[in-house]
């Protein structure tokens, strides 16, 4: 697996470009903003965009959806419970005094438990609500893309509409902390961490 990271937008979202070794096709996780920059990074790496996956529908994670879909025809994928949130992205952004571009409708929705496949790359979909009802994580080859569920030393905020602290913590403990300690965690904001580090150090879930 090849992983590229871009920090995009005013809320500093980690956008990941992920592809299988030897493949010229990629998926992008959470293109929150700066769509032209994402396209330039794909081109520089010799990759075409096949899939866009939103870990949830909040505006800071979906802001470049429309540009990328319109320019590449890539499939747009989100959890089924994330669709109502996705549709309100502009409204959500306006509440922070920030502009946002509406997202197109997803071409595929998830329920959790699926495996996304692209040229030998396989990512398991883990439904982790609590920050947002449609929150998901993606797991492949000892790498976990945790969206806004689990951060280095913290967890996603749960005071937004549809958030619930107990649901989020329960899901992290049940689905994420059972992974091998060496699993690398790539969160939606901030630095990478590992499952072992969060089990030992994270005051919310350890």
In this prediction, residue 96 carries a pLDDT of 87
Of the listed ranges 42-56, 72-86, 92-106, the one predicted with least confidence: 92-106
The whole-chain average pLDDT of the chain stands at 97
pLDDT of 206 above 80: no
What is the pTM for the complete model shown? 0.97
Q: Are 148 and 55 in contact (CB under 8 A)?
A: yes
Domain locations along the chain? 2-201
pLDDT classification of 146: cutoffs 50, 70, 90: very high
State pLDDT tens for residues 85-120. Answer: 999 999 889 988 988 789 999 999 999 999 999 999
Q: Where are the beta strands (DSSP E) in the chain?
A: 2-8, 13-19, 25-29, 48-53, 75-79, 108-110, 115-118, 121-127, 136-140, 143-147, 150-151, 154-155, 184-187, 193-194
- Mean pLDDT on 151-180: 97
Contact 15, 52 (CB under 8 A): no
Q: Span 2-201: which CATH code?
A: 3.60.15.10
């Amino acid at each position: 697996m090849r992983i590229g990271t871009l920090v995009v937008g005013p809320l500093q979202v980690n956008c990941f470009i992920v592809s299988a070794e030897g493949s010229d096709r990629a998926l992008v996780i959470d293109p929150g903003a700066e769509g032209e920059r994402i396209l330039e990074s794909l081109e520089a790496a010799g990759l075409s965009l096949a899939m866009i996956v939103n870990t949830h529908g909040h505006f800071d994670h979906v802001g470049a959806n429309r540009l990328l879909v319109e320019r590449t025809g890539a499939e747009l994928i989100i959890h089924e419970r994330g669709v109502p949130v996705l549709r309100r992205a502009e409204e959500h952004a306006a509440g922070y005094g920030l502009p946002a571009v509406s997202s197109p409708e997803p071409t595929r929705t998830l329920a959790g438990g699926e495996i996304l496949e692209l040229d030998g790359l396989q990512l398991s979909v883990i439904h982790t609500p609590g920050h947002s009802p449609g929150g998901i994580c993606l797991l492949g080859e000892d790498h976990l893309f945790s969206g806004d569920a689990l951060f280095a030393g913290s967890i996603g905020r749960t005071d937004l509409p549809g958030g619930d602290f107990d649901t989020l913590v329960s899901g992290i403990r049940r689905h994420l902390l059972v992974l091998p300690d060496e699993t690398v965690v790539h969160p939606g904001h901030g630095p990478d961490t590992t499952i072992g580090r969060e089990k030992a150090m994270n005051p919310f879930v350890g």
